[in-house]
Amino acid sequence: MGTIRDSADKVRGYLIPQLFVLRRVPMRYYRVLPLTFMKKFQCIVVGSAPGVLTVAITNRNNTLAIESLIKFTGQSIFPVLIERTRMRLLILRIERNEYRRNAFHSIAKGSMEKLNYYQYSMLSLQVCSFMRLLSSKKAKNV
């Protein structure tokens, strides 16, 4: 029986498994690849093992993406197929998370006024969520 690296090197053509249940990318893989790289090649890292990255792709014939990933990461790539719409959704989630992260860091570096505005907006979101919860419980009781 071969190692994971050997099996990752053997996956080619129509032997690429399809992943139907991917809904979220674990946070630890968000920053393995730059967002521009993920958008350009329509690929996302979804798992890893020693020396091997599991990468979700949308096109089984896109060998350029796999070769670029190997050069960029220096690791073997185990590709899995996912639907294009799911890929767009996952990349959008990662992009939103990066935007929030950058916004938070810029606020933290900025003035106290910006930080107070951020805290106010977060508090207002929490209040709205709480009010929706209460109104939904009242609707069930009526």
pLDDT tens string for the chain (142 positions)? 455 455 455 554 457 877 777 888 888 888 889 999 999 999 999 999 999 999 999 988 888 888 999 999 999 999 999 999 999 999 998 888 888 777 666 655 555 555 566 677 777 777 777 778 887 766 666 5
Q: Distance between CA atoms of 6 and 2, rounded to whole angstroms? A: 6
98 within a domain of the structure (yes/no): no
Residue ranges of E strands in the chain: 43-49, 52-57, 76-81
Q: What is the pTM of this model?
A: 0.62
The answer on 67 and 40 residing in a single domain is yes
60 within a domain of the structure (yes/no): yes
65 within a domain of the structure (yes/no): yes
Q: In which domain, by residue range, is 13 found?
A: 4-91
> Is the Cβ–Cβ distance between 83 and 91 less than 8 Å?
no
Number of domains in the chain: 2
Give the residue ranges of DSSP H helices in 31-75: 35-41, 63-73
